[in-house]
Structure formats: C-alpha cells, structure tokens
Structure 1
Amino acid sequence: MTDLPLAYQNLAADYIQKTHDDGGALRGSVYQQAKGNVENIFVKMPVGAGRKSLYIGPALQKETQAKVEAIKHASERARARRKDLSILNKVGVLSTHSYAGRVLDAMAYHGLFRNGAILVGTLAYQCYPLLLGCTLPSTQLATDDADLVAASLAIKADDGIDMLSILKDADPSFEPIPELDGRAKPSRFRSRIGFVVDLLTPTRTRGEKQPLELQGLDAGAMSLQYLAWLIDLSSPAALPYGSGIPVYVPRPERYAVHKLIISQKRAHTITKTSKDLAQAKALIEVVERTRPGLIADELLDAQAQGKQGWSDPIVKAMKAIWPDGSWQTRPEFEEFVDAL
C-alpha cells in the first residue's frame, strides 16, 4: 500500500468529481433516421453490455442541435476520463473487472445510485484507492457478487423499470433466485456465469418478515443489522471502470470498522472472514496515515452502540489481525482500549 504522488491524487479526485458531474449526461454515437419527410436525431448510448437508442428530436430544430452538441461534449469528456483512468492504472489503481463494471453501469444508468442505493462489499472496496489517493492490496479485488443497500424501501429506477430488467441490460442471462417463501419478491439475482447481485436494506424492527419489499423495483431486500450504521453519511465515489461509474459508498473509516465486526459474525467460510480482515487492516492503516483520528472516532462510535454485538467482535477481530497483541498499543486504538 502506497500513497499516490500528489499529481495522481489530484487526478483521482478529479476523476470522481467529473464522473458525478456527468452522471446523467447522454453520450454516444449520434445518427439520423427518417420518418416520413422528417429527419430525426437519435443517440446510441452505451449501457451495461449493449447500447440503447434514444430519441433526441427533429434534426432541424435548434433545441435538438443544442442537445447534439451537449452529447458530443459529454462523449469527449468520457473519453478524457478513460484516458485518466489508464494513467492511474499505470501507478497501481486497478480497474474493476469488466463484467462487474457492466452490471454497475446498468444500475447507474437507470438511476439507482441517484435514488438512494449504496454500494457495499468488495466492489465498494475497489472504489477506495481513488477516494483515498493510494493503492490497496490487489489480492482482495476479485469478487463474483455485488451488494447493494437500499437506504429506503421506496427506491426506484428513474424510468420505473424493475430490478430484473435493469440487470438484463448488463447480461440477459440474469434471473431471480427464488426465496424460501415462494410468494416473496426476490432479493438475489444470478447470471449464467454465477455473478450474484444481492439487495440489502437496514433492519427496521426485530423479527420483520424477510425479505422486505421494494415495490418500485418489483424486488425484495434482506434486512441486516449494522447497515444503517455502515451507510450513514456515505461518500460519493467512482467505480474505476472506463469513464467512471458514479456511486455512493460507506466512508472508508466506517467500512473498516464494520468489516472488523462482520468478520466475527460470518458463519460460512474462512475465505470471506479472511477477506473481511484483510480489507479492514488495509483501510485502517491507510486511513490512519492519511486521515489521522478518524479510525479512533469510528471505534468509539461503534463502542457506544453496545458491547456484545459491537465492542466484543471488534476486539476478537483485532486479536486475529494482530495476534502478537500489538493492537493494544497502536495510537489509533488507544481510546478504544482504555474504554474496554
């Protein structure tokens, strides 16, 4: 893990900002098509794995010509961002795998992130090198799933289409994974190659029926503890894929502490626990170096939430990461240790 030279940190910050500035802009190949005696303008915009043809207007109208100019400028800006990412690739900022990129691109195109979706899990972790201006361990970047948190059950796409239709823009082979209750809306979707999209949402009441319904997406979402805390005050970020995908992710310091907790809650595989611990350790070290004090703040905030479900798993995770006990003398953990 190394900090990028200042010029590249600025380039990374610029990439994020411009990705969000252009988040809803049309771009792509402009073409004309006649209907009767009228020439109409369309744009083929890249979305997910394909292109969508969108109507712009009659060719001779000034408003249409202004839109065409805007599309051309947006396309030029997208090409410039792709070049910027290529430069950042050369200094160690890795691009997201193309398949995951296409899936997230389809979600962004339909407005899920503008409308309250938060990206979590390993794909969120892939956004942190740009956000923090550093490199992170590449061994933790492989993933075969995408975890999306719906901050509100009222989340919907800009055009009102359902979740399965959104995913089919990325790969037509996506299908819902049936829930145990056959009447429940699906909260998980899987493509033919095995890539899984999980829809999640914060727990609202104990014992609530799973999954909760996302009516606007004709889907469900599994409610999980800790998610409300994790996504509080999430950060705008860019998934490093092509010209950038504008997303929102948990603040890196909160993501790190959340991973400490979750690593001790997983009941299924050692691999996932190891990944959680590795990501937490990497982010703790980077954040403490670049943003001193924030890890300490999040540890104290988590500690204030409770002991059994919060402080205790954090301590267990720290013992797993630093089995020699050195975590107890690290400056960023000092206040947390003193309060145990």
Structure 2
Amino acid sequence: MAIEYLPESVQTLYSELLDQTIQTEAEAVANRLPAPGSFVSKEVRGSTYWYLQRLEGQRKRQYFLGPDSPELQRWMAQKKSLAETMQPDAERRAELVSMLRAGGAARLPAAVGRVLRLLTEIGVFRLGGVLVGTQAFVAYGNMLGVRFQGSNLRTQDLDIAQDRGIAVALDPLAVPAALEEALREADSRFFAVPALDPRSPSTAFKVRGRDLRVDLLTPARGVETRPVALPYLKAAAQPLPHLGYLIDRPEQAVLCEASGLLVKVPQPARFVWHKLWASTQRPATDAAKSAKDRRQALELAEVLHADRPRDLEASWEALPGSLRSRIPTSLERLEEPTAQHLLGIARGP
C-alpha cells in the first residue's frame, strides 16, 4: 500500500501549530494563568467575593477565588492583561486549524472534539494523561504528515491512560471537582458505566443512546484488576497489563480542533508493537477489533519504516519479554511487506 503524504505546506502548518500550542501552554503554566473564562463578583451579606466563570459545554460554571482584596484585584488585573496579550496568538492558532482542515489534515468527530477540548482545558493531559487508542492513531496522521485509511479512524471511543505514580501539583483552577461532572458539561447525557462488580467504582463514561465513550486506564501493578483511584480527577482507572510500556515517555501532538488542542500520545513505534500484542489478547468474539488493531499497526509501521526506521527497532528492544513471545503470532499469516519487515525485527538477525 502506497503511503499518501499530506502536502508539504500542510506539514509546515502543523509544525507551526504544534510550536505555538506548546509555547502557549508553557506561558500559561509559567504565569499560572487560569483556564479560559472571565472574572465575576457576587455580593454576599455586604461583602464582595470573586469567581472565575467558565463556559463548559452548554453551562456556565464558577470557581471561587476569594473575598475582594487589593491583592486579589492586582492578581486578576495581571491575569487579564496576560490573557489579552495572548489573544492574537489564539486567533492565529484558530486560523492555522482552519487552514489545516482545508488542506486535508485529519479531524475528529465533532462530539469527540468537544470532549477532548474540555479535557484539555481542565488540564488532564498537562497532569500526565496520555491519549491512546484510535484517537491517538488519528493524531499520528497529522504528526507524521500522512493520510491514513478512513476505515481505521472510525470510532467515538476515547481512551485516556494515566500513570498513577506521576506526582501531580494540583491547581484548583485547572481541575474540576469531578471528571464525571465535567463530562456532563460537554454532554448532559454522559453517565458512569457501572462496573461488573457493584462494589467497584466505574472507570468508563458513556453518552446515552450514542457510541461516545470515555475510558480511564492505568498501568497494572502485578496482577491487580480492581479499579485504581485517581484522586485529582475524583475518578478511577482500570489497570491494564503492559500499559506502562505504551505510555512511557509520550510525545506531544496537536489536534486540529478549536485553536489547537495540545495532547500527549504514545511514541508511534511503541503504539505499533503494543497494538500487535493487543490483537492477540482479544477473545474470538472481538475478531473485528483484533483485525483493526493489526491494520492500524501495519499502516503506522509502514510510515515509520519509510521515514523513521530506527524507531521500530529501538521500541522493540524496549519491549518487555512477556510481550515479545506473542507478537510474531499476529504477523506470521500476513503477507504484506511491512508485516514481514516487522517479523524480521521480532525474530532478530
């Protein structure tokens, strides 16, 4: 299968958008800018209190800042001035997103884009979250400057992985009271999917009557299977074996939504090997998903073999031995040259 590259002009636009979103994120963190919104006051029993008001989904939410004081007034004036200074950059990023879409860059389904925009605004990715699964695969197309087959991009599942061991400095302006509540701001039909064990917390959220679903995942420690608490999101994640390999040292990518959404995704070559392993772990009833795992792995590997060949070898060398033994099984019956190349790496010299 021939690789379909995006025009060089589109690849240049993507690089500019990525650079600008990284710079904006760095400035926001350095200046401790609150999430986008406006400052509003309330009078309570003769005293003035200030709040940060944000539009989340279709509803306005207010976050308490404190009682009126000269110090708080100076802080709000400073943050407002900084935000106004950065507004032209936001407008330029939105323009870049429009140009990228017009040039053929991959975009997300509208509902998925809305949820990811909210997750980005509340700091999920800045706090260590990694976008995995098919939505990460979508991001790789623009990142690598190629156009993938549409059949490999279709899903409204959103998988977010988080290493619970990452130290997080909590910022009450960046993180909502609960992830579930925040998701409902994006779509009021979101509900927590009950766990099989009624004593366990939910690790997934779904929109009633639609395919849109968000799953929280975390690397398993040993043989654990019970959900793991993520206190800063007031949620729980499902532990999965070998997920730590996938999300170790993730890369930054920008999604062509809004004014550019900065996310973290696994290293592409690690995604390839992990997908091939995952394709061998599904039950027979999930044969279609196993086939999709292999298609995504091979399509991505074809690009890496052409443009970043050393990545595949280095990521194989980092692969735990417990994963290596199963991967050749997923490749042996495939005749594509890319599959045979991967099989050669797996079997060694």
Give the TM bin, normalised by the shorter chain: 0.7 to 0.9
Q: Counterpart of 1:123?
A: 135
Q: Counterpart of 2:267?
A: 251
Shift of 1:234: 0.5
> Aligned pair 1:199/2:211, yes or no?
no
CA contact (8 A) 1:47 1:105 kept: no
Shift of 1:150: 1.5
Counterparts of 2:229 and 2:220, CA distance in 1: 13
Q: Counterpart of 1:225?
A: 241
CA contact (8 A) 2:133 2:159 kept: yes
CA contact (8 A) 1:148 1:197 kept: yes
Q: Counterpart of 2:288?
A: 271
Shift of 1:200: 0.8
Q: Counterpart of 1:311?
A: 324
Q: Counterpart of 1:292?
A: 309
For residue 192 of structure 2, the aligned residue among 176, 191, 195 is 176
Counterparts of 1:66 and 1:338, CA distance in 2: 59
Q: Counterpart of 1:92?
A: 104
CA contact (8 A) 2:301 2:338 kept: no
Shift of 1:301: 3.0
Which amino acid in the other structure matches residue 16 of structure 2? D
For residues 164 and 70 of structure 1, do their structure 2 counterparts lie closer, same or farther at Cα, with a shift above 3 Å needed?
same
CA contact (8 A) 1:234 1:248 kept: yes
CA contact (8 A) 2:280 2:326 kept: yes
Which amino acid in the other structure matches residue 215 of structure 2? D
Q: Counterpart of 1:167?
A: 183
TM-score computed with the length of structure 1 as normaliser: 0.83
Shift of 1:183: 2.2
Q: Percent identity?
A: 27
> Aligned pair 1:187/2:203, yes or no?
yes
Which amino acid in the other structure matches residue 170 of structure 1? A
Which amino acid in the other structure matches residue 139 of structure 1? S
For residues 198 and 285 of structure 1, do their structure 2 counterparts lie closer, same or farther at Cα, with a shift above 3 Å needed?
same
Which amino acid in the other structure matches residue 232 of structure 1? D
**Which ranges in structure 2 are unaligned for 5 or more consecutive residues?**
none
Q: Counterpart of 1:21?
A: 23
Which amino acid in the other structure matches residue 330 of structure 2? A
Shift of 1:229: 0.5
Counterparts of 2:338 and 2:52, CA distance in 1: 58
For residues 333 and 101 of structure 1, do their structure 2 counterparts lie closer, same or farther at Cα, with a shift above 3 Å needed?
same
For residues 58 and 171 of structure 1, do their structure 2 counterparts lie closer, same or farther at Cα, with a shift above 3 Å needed?
farther
CA contact (8 A) 2:302 2:338 kept: no
Counterparts of 2:195 and 2:42, CA distance in 1: 48
TM-score computed with the length of structure 2 as normaliser: 0.81
Which amino acid in the other structure matches residue 114 of structure 1? R
Paired positions, count: 331
Give a deviation string over 1:212-269, Cα, whole Å, max 9, x none: 2223333221111120100111111122212122211101111111111111111142
Shift of 1:181: 2.2
> Aligned pair 1:214/2:230, yes or no?
yes
For residues 326 and 40 of structure 1, do their structure 2 counterparts lie closer, same or farther at Cα, with a shift above 3 Å needed?
closer
Give a deviation string over 1:2-58, Cα, whole Å, max 9, x none: 333444323212212222332445686768879699999987655445555678989
RMSD (Å) for aligned C-alpha atoms:
3.2
For residues 155 and 43 of structure 1, do their structure 2 counterparts lie closer, same or farther at Cα, with a shift above 3 Å needed?
same
For residues 2 and 181 of structure 1, do their structure 2 counterparts lie closer, same or farther at Cα, with a shift above 3 Å needed?
same
Q: Counterpart of 1:137?
A: 149
Give a deviation string over 1:166-224, Cα, whole Å, max 9, x none: 21221122111111222222111111224211111101122x24122223333221111
Counterparts of 2:58 and 2:42, CA distance in 1: 27
Shift of 1:111: 1.4
CA contact (8 A) 1:112 1:158 kept: no
**Which ranges in structure 1 are unaligned for 5 or more consecutive residues?**
none
